[in-house]
Amino acid sequence: MRIIVLIKQVPGTADSRMDPETGVMIRDAGESIMNPLDEHAVSEAVSIKKSHPGTEVVALSMGPPAAEKVLREACARGADRGILLSHKAFGGSDTIATSRVLAAAIRKVGDVDLVLAGEKATDGETGQTGPMTATLLDMPVITFVHRLTVSDKHIIAQRMVEEGVEELQVNLPALVTVVKDINNPPLPTIRGYVLAKKQTFPVWGPADLEIDAGVLGLKGSPTRVVKVFTPKLSRQTVFYTADTEELASAAAAAVLKTIRERGLVKRDE
């Protein structure tokens, strides 16, 4: 079985910047890390490999040359190899343009049974790239998965929805996006780091993927950021101190008054 894990490099801190002119995220600012949910996707792939001998786990990441770092981390966590999708033509891609690159790369890797990805990335927070990539590959997608059972021909996935859990079965190949609850990723081992250090990562651009640059990058992206602004947080906070029981009681009364004023207290029976 061959499993592909889609990995994104995201800003390690929440203070990354956006170019105010083009609205494109500036990705080389500050320290970058692997998108936290992608760690769960890698761990899931590696644990499937343990129960399915002969499985190969391939990490794919589209990003700047520095994204090689997250591929190396994926290998330290147990992925067998990694491929970097990097070219200036990819810059400024929105979710569909990104999905075109990922889908083409998955096709080029070939013979893929399962694609795993984090449900969303902490920077863009769209959760769209997984379902879009699956669609371009004509694969069904199961999102928000928190339990996954893999057989040779199909998977059974539990999907967390608003009011409960759906259990779904689908034949392979398929794409699955995972939520945090799926596993508890172990830290990479020393041996993992040593093995990963020796890895080299091929870099694929539009020519390798045989895609027309016109459908990639900013030019190939149907969406445009037209304005960026900082939300106003002009809260006029009213403070209460509650360091005695009476004061706590008064504070509680103020809270309930506020809630009542907003028409939200359940009617008294």
Looking at the Cβ atoms of 203 and 249, the one nearer to other proteins is 249
| Cα-based distances in Å from 130 to 3, 81, 135, 238, 251 | 14, 20, 9, 43, 46
99 interacts with other proteins by CB under 8 A: yes
29 interacts with other proteins by CB under 8 A: no
Looking at the Cβ atoms of 107 and 240, the one nearer to other proteins is 240
CA 131 to CA 149: how far, in whole Å? Answer: 20
Looking at the Cβ atoms of 3 and 174, the one nearer to other proteins is 174
Residue list 212-231, contact with other proteins (CB under 8 A): 221-231
CB 12 within 8 A of CB 33: yes
Which amino acid does the sequence have at 256?
L
54 interacts with other proteins by CB under 8 A: no
Which one of residues 128, 147, 193, 199 is an interface residue with other proteins (CB under 8 A)? Answer: 128
Which one of residues 31, 111, 210, 245 is an interface residue with other proteins (CB under 8 A)? Answer: 245
Residue list 129-168, contact with other proteins (CB under 8 A): 129-136, 138-144, 146, 156, 159-168
Which one of residues 109, 170, 195, 213 is an interface residue with other proteins (CB under 8 A)? Answer: 170
Which amino acid does the sequence have at 2?
R
CA 195 to CA 191: how far, in whole Å? Answer: 6
170: left (phi over 0), alpha (psi -120 to 50) or beta: beta
